[in-house]
Structure 1
């Protein structure tokens, strides 16, 4: 009986935490758990086709994690590693090629760790990769609008982020257990 009551309490907490329409952060700005990007910060990034392959491969891994498919995420990570390694920094129109190269190396390292069969380890590497890739795309540019999404409940409520091509939240850090937990934090919009 106690276990059932405890489980019901934890489930209620999880649903309540991710189901809120809006909350106020310490800075006083309004954030949304519904995936609504209308009040998210918008950052202008340059238009670039050079990152298309990286974004496509990243989104394929994200979709596999959303579907709780560790085998597919591991297989798709090989494509991501390949496009990251072959990314031509010299061809990128950037003022900071050294920082771009550092981010490329770091992103490749996290992408290589996705080759494991352990979905929890994949999700941890994917979250770290997402942070680095967002910074890389801000420098290198993108071929589409991307949404930086954030789930406050990931990793013991320390939170985690990922990038999506849609403002609809499909959480790769929890998959089917908390599929819509999260909100749009920032929009990477084309110039």
Structure 2
């Protein structure tokens, strides 16, 4: 009974908080709670400078989508494709190079799709890219702490995720229509 009540409270909070902008610290802290009501969990990733260009490119696309800028998202995605293709798996010393290569190819495909289409199609490709990028960085490593953020209202309440360089929610899946909808699910922290 208590779990059901807690779950219902969290769902109600998510629905109402995604439609409103709030500056109170109490609401900000709750927005960073995970889906089970606890704080976001941390995931250790190895420190690696080899992914810097890829992360920079990914975040540039994210920022363009946050700003509802379809043209810039398209331009930045072309650069991201180049950075993904240039990534040298052999020198990465990854413990699973075959999986890393599969994720590199998959991420490149999603990034290529971002170059064309309207902003809704770009956002759909970006959400898929985000899932793949998280898995890619878990193996390849990162040069900074990243935050796995989640919006429960994306795709007809199926939800969607992205990575961010800071905890503040700036939703690329909705842009200005629901800029602050979301929460931090996980922190990808450097080892």
Give matches, 1:18-29, under 5 Å.
18=18, 21=30, 25=35, 29=36
Shift in alpha-carbon separation, 1:81–1:17, aligned structure 2, 3 A: same
Q: Provide the secondary structure at the position in 1 that maps to 2:92.
A: coil
The answer for unaligned runs of 5 or more in structure 1 is 1-12, 32-38
Residue by residue over 1:32-84, the C-alpha shift from the partner in whole angstroms, topping out at 9 and shown as x without a partner, is: xxxxxxx1010000000000000000000000000000000001100000000
Q: Provide the secondary structure at the position in 2 that maps to 1:74.
A: helix
Deviation at 1:117, TM superposition (A): 3.8
Between structures 1 and 2, the one with greater helix share = 2
Provide the residue aligned with 2:37 in structure 1: 30
Residue pair 2:147, 2:184 contacting (<8 A) in 1 also? yes
Q: Distance in 2 between matches of 1:115 and 1:14?
A: 32
Residue pair 2:148, 2:184 contacting (<8 A) in 1 also? yes
RMSD: 1.8
Residue by residue over 1:155-185, the C-alpha shift from the partner in whole angstroms, topping out at 9 and shown as x without a partner, is: 0000000000000000000000000000000
Q: Provide the secondary structure at the position in 1 that maps to 2:50.
A: coil
Provide the residue aligned with 2:40 in structure 1: 40
Per the normalisation by structure 2, the TM-score is: 0.84
Per the normalisation by structure 1, the TM-score is: 0.84
Task: Find out whether 1:78 has 2:99 as its counterpart.
Answer: no
Give matches, 1:1-191, under 5 Å.
16-18=16-18, 21=30, 25=35, 29-30=36-37, 39-191=39-191
Residue pair 2:74, 2:115 contacting (<8 A) in 1 also? yes
Q: How many residues align?
A: 169
Shift in alpha-carbon separation, 1:24–1:106, aligned structure 2, 3 A: closer
Residue pair 2:144, 2:190 contacting (<8 A) in 1 also? yes
The answer for unaligned runs of 5 or more in structure 2 is 1-12, 21-26
Q: Distance in 2 between matches of 1:125 and 1:24?
A: 24
Residue pair 2:14, 2:152 contacting (<8 A) in 1 also? no
Deviation at 1:14, TM superposition (A): 8.7
Deviation at 1:95, TM superposition (A): 1.0
